[in-house]
Structure 1
């Protein structure tokens, strides 16, 4: 048993082991799809890969007869723009509030209770309020993402700042550093890699809020298209869209992880 807990798979072995569950899911889907289609060739619940590929070809590579747009790419661009703007604003606000709340007890005493209160509000519960306040356009969707993930990133960064050894602050002050220099030269560099990690962990929630907003009020977007196709039980469109969202989320997560490792190698050497 001691050998098992100390076993470290090689990189290629880890890739193969990680691929096994995905292969198993695809295999069981194919078996279940074949069984349902054999019983009813018009079954829509588990379409075959050929039907899904035909749907992808229709959505991604054939212009819409009504608008002339390639709907798949139009939806992807609209959702990604909303997501990146929302997450970017959240990261900036979280960095500012997390830095000052964590490093300055006076600011923490004033703002920390408010941030905690906002974090406890279910973001989807105030979605109608956002639509009434900001309209049904892009602003309300971006604001929902910001409200949904910013408080959690702020609290994470605040804890990270408070975990910095107090000796570092004392040494910086001994060397003549004032408050602004300590924040800029001591605290901020240690906060940036944690910010990227916190954003990575918040991406799933950001996608959730985005898709919910698009499902209620949008004319384009991945969430809008999924809920539109639900009316027609078009699983041959819905499943590829879900898989595409998963691939986009995985790519963004991987990109952030690579950026973090390249820019802050010392963070992973701890």
Structure 2
């Protein structure tokens, strides 16, 4: 009899096994929702799918009487803009700081300890400071995302840079390369695919900081909408918004992975 530890499901079976937990969770939700609504039709904790569909249709396809915008799409656009700007700034800063501290010992000795200390500061604790310094506008929200994930990316880039064999640097210097040429032509191409992987890993934290900032001070955005309707216990809006955020995060992760494979097909381990 084959031991369980040695059993590896085939491709089709693996897909079904991966789908099974989602089907079970969906079934549990539907059963409990039906039971609660049968007992109390006004129950808001576990809304029926029809209730969620009606709410999302209203938010996505009916213009707001106040602004004329479609709330669902305007919330999505606002949140993605903030997230994109914050992640882009963090990626640029993290790449620059990580490569410099990892490649140049004098800079590493000076700034690596500071980078470690900064990475230990809870970014959400800085949110009131950011609101005081930058106000309640877009800058403070983008800054929170950038500050929150830059240390992680920078430390990862520093480690990845130091993993590059020293022999490559010696060979480049033997061929007459100076410091800037080594950084740009030897180190940078090798850490770029690692940067995309690092951004993928930091997106979860980026979403967290985005939702937190929007929940406290915003007039639009996915996080703003979730915390706006919670006072009315509108789970028919909250649950679809959470599912939408999850789907967006999943799609971004896949898109970055595909981008990495297309731009740097050689980075995969054989």
Q: TM-score range by the shorter chain?
A: over 0.9
TM-score by length of 1: 0.96
Q: Does 1:219 align with 2:216?
A: no
Q: CA deviation at 1:8?
A: 6.3
Larger CA deviation: 103-112 vs 174-183: 174-183
Q: Does 1:233 align with 2:209?
A: no
Distance 1:266 1:221 in 2: 38
Q: Which residues of structure 2 form unaligned runs of 5+?
A: none
2:24 aligns with: 24
Distance 1:265 1:242 in 2: 34
1:250 aligns with: 250
Distance 1:134 1:73 in 2: 26
Once the two structures are superposed, the pairs formed by residues 66-81 of structure 1 within 5 Å of their partners are 66-81=66-81
Once the two structures are superposed, the pairs formed by residues 128-167 of structure 1 within 5 Å of their partners are 128-167=128-167
2:53 aligns with: 53
1:127 aligns with: 127
Q: 1:4 to 1:265 in 2, by over 3 A?
A: farther
TM-score by length of 2: 0.96
Q: 1:179 to 1:2 in 2, by over 3 A?
A: farther
Distance 1:51 1:25 in 2: 19
Q: CA deviation at 1:5?
A: 4.1
Q: Which residues of structure 1 form unaligned runs of 5+?
A: none
Once the two structures are superposed, the pairs formed by residues 98-113 of structure 1 within 5 Å of their partners are 98-113=98-113
Q: Secondary structure at the match of 1:231?
A: helix
Distance 1:202 1:175 in 2: 37
Distance 2:218 2:76 in 1: 13
Distance 1:42 1:214 in 2: 29
Cα-Cα RMSD: 1.4
Distance 1:253 1:266 in 2: 19
Count, aligned residues: 269
Distance 1:6 1:193 in 2: 33
Larger CA deviation: 24-33 vs 72-81: 24-33
Q: CA deviation at 1:16?
A: 3.0
2:183 aligns with: 183
Distance 1:8 1:38 in 2: 41
